[in-house]
C-alpha cells in the first residue's frame, strides 16, 4: 500500500513539475547549467574589456540563488556595456528554463567588498533599474555578484500546483528513504560546510563571511576541511600531518603549526570560532 501511495504521489509531483517548468517565465535555478551561464557572463565581461587571455576564476555559489564571479586579473568596464553584456549572456533565449529573468547585479571591489556599481534587472522593463549610465570605471580588481530573485517562482496561476507537488514529492521521498538500505543513505560530500558564521566552499577552497570572500591555499583548505568535518573534537598532530603531507613524502612538524596560525587569522571575523592547541595531543576547532 505504501509503495502504491508513494508511486502515485511521485507521479503527481513529477507531472506538476513538468507543467510548472513548461508554463513559467521564471524557472528555478538549474545547478551546473547556471554555473556555466555565470562563467559565460565572466567571459563576455572580459572580452568587452578587451581581455581575451586571462581567466575567469571558479564561480562561487554563495547561496541557493547567489553567484560570485571573480577574475584572474584587474579589469575596467563601462556601466552601459556591462549591463548590455550581462543582459545578453543571461537572455531567456539562451538560457530558457535554466535561470530566472529577474536578478540584481553588484560589482564589488576585491578588497573590502565595497560595491562600486549595481543595477536591477526585473521581469518587465518598467521595473528594471539601471542607474549611472555611461560611466567608465578605472582599472581594478572587481568581482560580480548576481542574485536571482526566486520569490516570483511561487506567483501566478500556473504555480498553484506547487503545494500539491511538494507535498507528494516529500511523502514519496520519505517512504522510499525508509525502505532503502543503509548503504543507499550515504550521500555525496556537501559542496559547502558551515563553520559558525562562515560558509566553507569545499570545491573552490574559499571561506565566505557575509559578503567577504577569503581565499585559502590548497594546504589551508585541506587542513580546514579536516577540522570542519569534526568540529569540537581533538585531531592528533600525527593524523593531521599524515592526511595533509603524506603524498609529498616529507613531513615537517612546524609546517602544520604555521598553517594553523594562518587559519586562525582568517577565522578571526567570528569570535565564536577558534582553533585551540591541545597540549601533547593536537588541535581542536571550537565552534560555540
Grid cell for residue 70: 571573480
Pairing of strands 136-140, 142-148: unpaired
Grid cell for residue 205: 577552497
Grid cell for residue 88: 545578453
Residue 161: half-sphere exposure toward Cβ, Cα within 13 Å: 16
- pLDDT at site 24: 43
- pLDDT above 90 covers what percent of the chain? 23
List the alpha helices (DSSP H) in the chain: 2-23, 32-48, 79-89, 162-179, 218-229, 237-245, 253-266
Measured N-to-C along each axis, helices 253-266 and 218-229 cross at an angle, to the nearest 10 degrees, of 80
Using the 8-state DSSP alphabet, how is residue 97 labeled? T
Q: Give me Rg for the CA atoms of the chain.
A: 23
**Burial degree of 136 (CB within 10 A; 0-12, 13-18, 19+):** exposed
Quickly count: other Cβ atoms within 10 Å of residue 281's Cβ: 12
pLDDT digits (tens, 9 = 90+) for 205-245: 889 888 888 989 988 999 999 999 999 999 998 888 888 88
- pLDDT at site 172: 58
All residues at 6 or more sequence positions from 49 whose CB lies less than 8 Å from its CB, including other chains: 75, 76, 77
Gap between the Cα atoms of 78 and 137, Å rounded:
6
Residue 14: half-sphere exposure toward Cβ, Cα within 13 Å: 8
Partners of 206 in the β-ladder: 201, 215
Grid cell for residue 62: 554563495
Gap between the Cα atoms of 250 and 269, Å rounded:
33
Gap between the Cα atoms of 45 and 219, Å rounded:
31
Q: Read off the pTM.
A: 0.43
Grid cell for residue 275: 582553533
- pLDDT at site 27: 44
Cβ-count burial 209-225 (b if 16+ within 10 Å, e if not) = bebebeebeebbbbbbb
State the SS3 of 172-216. HHHHHHHHCCHHHHCCCCCCEEEECCEEEECCCCEEEECCEEEEC
Q: Phi and psi (nearest 5°) for 267? A: -100, 5
Q: Which residues of the chain have pLDDT under 50?
A: 2, 23-28, 151-160, 182-186
Amino acid at each position: 500500500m505504501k509503495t502504491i501511495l508513494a508511486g502515485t504521489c511521485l507521479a503527481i509531483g513529477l507531472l506538476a513539475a513538468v507543467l510548472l517548468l513548461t508554463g513559467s517565465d521564471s524557472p528555478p535555478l538549474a545547478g551546473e547549467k547556471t554555473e556555466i551561464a555565470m562563467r559565460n557572463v565572466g567571459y563576455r565581461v572580459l572580452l568587452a574589456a578587451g581581455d581575451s587571455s586571462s581567466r575567469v576564476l571558479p564561480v562561487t555559489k554563495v547561496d541557493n540563488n547567489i553567484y560570485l564571479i571573480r577574475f584572474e586579473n584587474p579589469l575596467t568596464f563601462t556601466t552601459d556595456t556591462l549591463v548590455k553584456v550581462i543582459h545578453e549572456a543571461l537572455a531567456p533565449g539562451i538560457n530558457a528554463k535554466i535561470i530566472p529573468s529577474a536578478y540584481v547585479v553588484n560589482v564589488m571591489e576585491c578588497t573590502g567588498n565595497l560595491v562600486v556599481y549595481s543595477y536591477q534587472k526585473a521581469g518587465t522593463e518598467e521595473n528594471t533599474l539601471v542607474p549611472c549610465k555611461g560611466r567608465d570605471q578605472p582599472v581594478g580588481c572587481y568581482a560580480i555578484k548576481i542574485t536571482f530573485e526566486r520569490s516570483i517562482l511561487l506567483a501566478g496561476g500556473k504555480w498553484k500546483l506547487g503545494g500539491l507537488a511538494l507535498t507528494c514529492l516529500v511523502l514519496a521521498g520519505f517512504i522510499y528513504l525508509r525502505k532503502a538500505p543503509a548503504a543507499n543513505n550515504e550521500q555525496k560530500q556537501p559542496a559547502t560546510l558551515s563553520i559558525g558564521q562562515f560558509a566553507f566552499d569545499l570545491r573552490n577552497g574559499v571561506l565566505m563571511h557575509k559578503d567577504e570572500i577569503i581565499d585559502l591555499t590548497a594546504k589551508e583548505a585541506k587542513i580546514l576541511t579536516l577540522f570542519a568535518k569534526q568540529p569540537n573534537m581533538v585531531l592528533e598532530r600525527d593524523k593531521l600531518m599524515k592526511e595533509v603531507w603524506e603524498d609529498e613524502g616529507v613531513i615537517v612538524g612546524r609546517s602544520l603549526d604555521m598553517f594553523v596560525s594562518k587559519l586562525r587569522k582568517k577565522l578571526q571575523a567570528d569570535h565564536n570560532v577558534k582553533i585551540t592547541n591541545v597540549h601533547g595531543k593536537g588541535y581542536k576547532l571550537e565552534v560555540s
